[in-house]
Amino acid sequence: MQYRKFGKLDFEVSALGFGAMRLPQKDGGIDEALAAKMLHYAIDHGVNYVDTAYPYHDGQSEVFLGKALGGGYREKVKLATKMPSWLIQSAADFDKYLNEQLERLKQDSVDIYLLHSLNHDNWPKLRDLGVLEWAEKAKAEGRFQYLGFSFHDDGDAFAPIIDAYDWDLCQIQYNFIDVENQAGKKGLSYAASKGIAVMVMEPLLGGKLADPPEPIQTIWDSADQKRSPIDWALRWVWNQPEAGGILSGMSTMAQVEENVALASAAEYDELTGAEMALYDRVKTKYDELTAIPCTSCGYCMPCPQHVDIPGNFGIYNAGIAFDKHGDARGKYAWWKFAHEVQHIMDHDVRAENCIQCGECESKCPQGIEIIKWLSQVHESLGEGKPLVTSL
């Protein structure tokens, strides 16, 4: 395993971090036996950073880690979790949620506590409620050692948050598609210039970069150096010294094994000029193919009407990217059949059921016009109108 300087912090971080947001599923919950096997394999092979958050797996991710990090594994890693910023209504909630999280994790303290998904709306609210003063007190009490935040907003919101406090670390979405999106390269460089450790999330853009359509694969195949799409995507992030570790939300043992192997060979500044040009070609082609910039993070869920927002967007995007419009319409129709005829699904989760309440849009880290896109999804997949790439 490769280890990297992590801002001004007093430890080096493994190139690969274990993200506990997309753990394997079984019988409607976490497949704890398989998930524990995956986690232990990663740690046994050098991963020293484990990340979770209050809402992951409906709160069960923290509970799972509380059990799976027993037997000496807790002492081998830095454990990070996140305050649910959107749930904070008063200063009393700071202790309320941290106490609940520590109980779930079976810990007296965590190494890293992050304010989850800060943006230009919730950051002023937390700041004015005194979250920084509270955090200083909680650190002094030994409830966590380092304070950071994760970020999902446009670049203009990033620097004011960075400048508001002497943060220990930040967590940003970053990949070769998002160079100018969200915090982007500019934000990465700015945080690093202040000595703030940077943990990168969504290096595969919610998995979209892992299994590319044929036009993208053709570009990758044209390279002299043959690599998997996952290798190309992760290597691009690891190539940059400003980036610390990469968080990967892994769902299978094969993914863990592959990512551990790749992280063990990752180096700074190893990509050639020709290879960097290849990324530009791939990004341009992806821009041509992708309609809705959804990463399936699930922050928009649950929908009060039970609409599966990421699922609808995934079907629509796949129909365009793979040029399989009929398949997309078939999957959309099957959802209705599965609910109304076969009763496989408890609810009709299709875009048609959106009532335009807007609750989802305030939570979307990508700033997607969810209501408009859900309407377009139903028009295209439910009513047979053409699939379009822009509204």
Q: Mind telling me the catalytic residues?
A: 56
Chain length of the chain: 391
d(CA 326, CA 236): 35
Among residues 339, 319, 338, 337, the alpha carbon closest in space to that of 329 is found at 319
Q: Which strand (E) or helix (H) includes residue 30? A: strand 29-30
Tell me if 282 sits within 8 A of 176, measured CB to CB.
yes
DSSP state of 45: T
Among residues 204, 208, 209, 202, the alpha carbon closest in space to that of 183 is found at 202
Tell me if 47 sits within 8 A of 12, measured CB to CB.
no
Tell me if 233 sits within 8 A of 278, measured CB to CB.
no
Helical H segments across the chain, by residue range: 32-44, 60-68, 92-105, 122-128, 131-140, 158-162, 184-193, 214-221, 229-238, 253-263, 273-289, 309-321, 325-340, 370-377
